[in-house]
Amino acid sequence: MTQQTHEPGSTTTAPTTPAPPKTAATATATTTTATTTVTTIREAGPWPPASPPLADPRPLGELRVWPRTFHDRLTAPLPGLKAMARFAREGSVRPGREGLADVPRLPYEPGPLPRVAADTVSVTWAGHASWIVRIGGLTVLTDPVWSRRILGTPARVTPVGVPWETLPRVDAVVVSHNHYDHLDAPTLRRLPRDAPVFVPAGLGRWFRRRRFTTVTELDWWEAAELSGVRFDFVPAHHWSKRTLIDTCHSLWGGWVLTAADGGRVYFAGDTGYGDWFSRIGRRYPGIDLALMPIGAYDPRWWLSDVHLDPEEAVRATQDLGARRMAPMHWGTFILSAEPVLEPLTRVRAAWERAELAREDLWDLPVGGSRILERASSESAVS
């Protein structure tokens, strides 16, 4: 495997916008209210600076010219004819009857969205890779998929955790890549066309054709800023394709959201394991929470380059230097052959083997919420 090292913006000067979090170690206290748990952080010491310095934010809605293809960003070759033939021969794309038996046990506990102040961070898992992230006073949706069914996949096995009509005003949307389980046209049609959208390089045309008016396309390591919150687009070990003729015509990646007070959330999108995680951790020290995919990994010979398994997700969280991890990309759509509850049981076991604090694994049910607030915060929780 050849690692892509392209890092646009790596020689630019540090921005004058959000500084990294101020702590290198923290003490925490937790309080649980209904389906929402509040974690309070007490600060303890400075974080090291980003290395290399972060790029200056680019203008919102900037029109840019991109390469026709991003094949050079692949960190592993796409499957060839031999692999495709094996996949067709084995046909192992869904769990067997035993693997599906636990569908009724998948954790689903919808609750009201927590009320939070501008200086708190909260996350609510709507299912799959869709989160409602409240950060810096903004409400941000990640890879929003509220549809019951997506192209080529059976209907979701757990309902959406948050009814669309209960969402507050959506201040921004981030999209990791253009696969149908992450870029859902019927869901996006529900958004007002002036909602700011942050997307990978090459994907802006798709949104502008649908009359979105503020579409910001970014390359890896680039950033934009909205109302004091910084949106950085970072690499992932994945690929893109939406039609028969557009393989890797747009980029793929994750997002680091940083509030003015230093609160920082990493959304991985969809990714395999590799050295991007340690690079992201060096450039964005002090990640408070990593939203990490743990499902759609079996058969491993077919999916290891593009999807983390649970043990790799824990390792990647450690590589990032993130304080906490919230699993996602499991228990919603059946995309591969592992038993439906296996990602959860394996990630819990891997977290324990790594001797990480149990309270830092935010293994939420679909519809569940967690709040991260600083000790001085006076935010209310419903």
358-374 pLDDT per residue, tens: 999 999 999 999 999 76
Which of 226, 222, 225 is closest to 234 using CA atoms?
Answer: 222
> Would you say residue 22 lies in a domain?
no
Q: Residue 47: pLDDT above 70?
A: no
pLDDT the model gives residue 382: 33
**Mean per-residue pLDDT, 88-107:** 89
Q: Average the pLDDT over each of 109-118, 121-130, 230-239 and give the range with the smallest value.
A: 109-118
Q: Which residue has the higher pLDDT, 117 or 125?
A: 125
Q: Residue 321: pLDDT above 50?
A: yes
Q: Residue 338: pLDDT above 60?
A: yes
Q: Residue 297: pLDDT above 60?
A: yes
What is the DSSP track for 68-89? S--GGG-SSPPP-HHHHHHHHH
Q: How many CB atoms lie within 10 A of CB 19?
A: 17
Q: Residue 125: pLDDT above 60?
A: yes
Report percent pLDDT > 90 for the chain.
76
Q: Strands 215-218, 197-200: parallel, antiparallel or unpaired by DSSP?
A: parallel
pLDDT the model gives residue 373: 76
> Would you say residue 322 lies in a domain?
yes
Q: Residue 55: pLDDT above 60?
A: yes
> Would you say residue 360 lies in a domain?
yes
| Gyration radius from the chain CA atoms | 19
Pair of tokens at residue 249: 């015509």
pLDDT the model gives residue 37: 75
Provide the phi-psi class of 152: left if phi over 0, else alpha when psi is between -120 and 50, else beta: left
> Would you say residue 93 lies in a domain?
no
For residue range 161-209, what is the model confidence (pLDDT) as tens digits?
999 999 999 999 999 999 999 999 999 999 999 999 999 999 999 999 9
Is there a cis peptide before residue 52, judged by omega within 30 degrees of 0?
A: yes
> Would you say residue 277 lies in a domain?
yes
Q: Residue 144: pLDDT above 90?
A: yes
Write the CB contacts of 227 (distance below 8 Å, at least 6 apart in sequence).
Answer: 136, 137, 138, 171
Environment class of 154 (CB within 10 Å of its CB; exposed 0-12, middle 13-18, buried 19+): exposed
pLDDT band at 28 (very low <50, low <70, confident <90, very high): low
Angle of helix 276-283 relative to helix 310-320, nearest 10 degrees, comes to 30
Phi, psi of 249 (to 5 degrees): -80, -10
Report percent pLDDT > 70 for the chain.
86
Q: Residue 88: pLDDT above 80?
A: no
pLDDT the model gives residue 278: 97
Q: Residue 241: pLDDT above 80?
A: yes
pLDDT the model gives residue 243: 94
Rounded CA separation 144/167 (Å)? 12
pLDDT band at 280 (very low <50, low <70, confident <90, very high): very high
pLDDT band at 20 (very low <50, low <70, confident <90, very high): very low
pLDDT band at 36 (very low <50, low <70, confident <90, very high): confident
What is the SS3 string spanning 332-369? CCCCCCCCCCHHHHHHHHHHHHCCCCHHHECCCCECCE
> Would you say residue 127 lies in a domain?
yes
Token match 């592992």: residue? 338
**Mean per-residue pLDDT, 140-145:** 98
Could you give the number of structural domains in the chain?
Answer: 1
Q: Residue 66: pLDDT above 60?
A: yes
Q: Residue 10: pLDDT above 70?
A: no
pLDDT, the chain, mean? 89
> Would you say residue 252 lies in a domain?
yes
- Identify each DSSP E strand in the chain by its residue range: 27-33, 36-42, 120-127, 130-135, 138-142, 172-174, 197-200, 215-218, 223-226, 229-234, 254-258, 264-267, 289-293, 325-328, 369-374
Cβ(256)–Cβ(264) below 8 Å:
yes
User: Domain range for residue 109?
Assistant: 30-42+105-374
pLDDT the model gives residue 35: 59
Q: Residue 82: pLDDT above 80?
A: yes
Pair of tokens at residue 307: 């999807």
**Mean per-residue pLDDT, 40-60:** 76
Pair of tokens at residue 101: 């038996």
Cβ(280)–Cβ(265) below 8 Å:
no
Phi, psi of 251 (to 5 degrees): -85, 175
- Please report, for the domain that includes residue 181, its CATH number: 3.60.15.10
**Mean per-residue pLDDT, 56-64:** 97
> Would you say residue 79 lies in a domain?
no
pLDDT the model gives residue 22: 36
Rounded CA separation 341/365 (Å)? 12
What is the DSSP track for 20-86? PPS-SS-EEEEEEETTEEEEEEE--SPPPPPSSPPPPPBPTT------S--GGG-SSPPP-HHHHHH
